[in-house]
Amino acid sequence: MFATYLIGLREGLEATLVVSILVAFLVKSQRRDRLPQVWTGVGLAVALSVGFGSLIQYTSTSLLRTSESRELFEAVTSVAAVVFVTWMIFWMRRAARTIAGELRGKLTDALAVGSLAVAGMAFLAVIREGLETALIFYAAAESAAGGTGPGSLLALAGGIATAVVIGFLLYRSAVRINLSRFFTWTGALLILVAAGILKYGVHDFQEAGVLPGLNDLAFDISTTLDPNAWYGALLAGMFNVTAAPTVLELVAWVAYAVPVLVLFLRKPARSAKPIPAAATPTAPADVAAVPSPRA
């Protein structure tokens, strides 16, 4: 459950920050008349994301007739989700210092074109987060014991609701959060979640007969790590850590988690040449990324 909550919180906050930047820019620019177009674009993006998630679930449960095809479908979606998670966390770390300025520039261009361009710009700014959330949620929920049941949906909705509240408070300047640290910690946790999703995908490939070694266990510590105990369920639900993984599952988990964590947590090298102050983009390390309309 925590893994799906974390996905909703992380992706929801990214989308909320994007919307907050757009709304704050329009308010400060005395263009409140364009706010309905922004909310229209956001609403369409949310609706399409929900539809995409429903399509994935319908495909898995209704369109695929054999267990092998379902296992293969879940394996492919798991690998795709890992790719999206990895791209997303590294992209956010790189783009966090310039995203606000880029969004304002694009919105300025959209305002010059017309209302349809404003709605389209808001739609495109949010739809990426929505589609990623739907795909990653499906893969993470399937890799957990509960699947995409009501509990997982409630956890995802809770994470998104928390993100919306935090985003609103940031917008109103009611709280201050070090967003750089927040995205670093949640990024590291999501890497471990993605490692578990990849491990689950490898297992599905083995179940489908695409990969060998389904019965070749790396170890079996069921007597120590009881899958029915709360700690066993917690590890399995969050990071898909199980008591009896296959050799390929363990190799996949370690081969992904270790190097990606090292690369993500490593501090980026500083440029040898100092960047002029005028050319240095401002970093939204905290609430400064979401200016309040009252400022």
DSSP state for residue 175 in the 8-state scheme: -
Q: Pick the closest to residue 81 from 186, 196, 177, 210 (CA basis).
A: 196
Tally of residues, the chain: 295
Q: What is the end-to-end Cα distance of the chain in Å, rounded?
A: 39
**Distance from C-alpha of 236 to C-alpha of 238, rounded to nearest angstrom:** 6
Q: What per-residue confidence (pLDDT) applies to 174?
A: 63
pTM of the model: 0.77
Q: What per-residue confidence (pLDDT) applies to 134?
A: 87
Q: What per-residue confidence (pLDDT) applies to 248?
A: 95
Q: Which segments of the chain have a pLDDT < 50?
A: 271-295
Q: Pick the closest to residue 54 from 151, 124, 157, 135 (CA basis).
A: 135
Six-digit token pair at 212? 């060998």
Q: What per-residue confidence (pLDDT) applies to 285?
A: 40
DSSP state for residue 63 in the 8-state scheme: I
DSSP state for residue 135 in the 8-state scheme: H
Q: Pick the closest to residue 236 from 144, 148, 161, 173 (CA basis).
A: 144
**Distance from C-alpha of 240 to C-alpha of 145, rounded to nearest angstrom:** 9
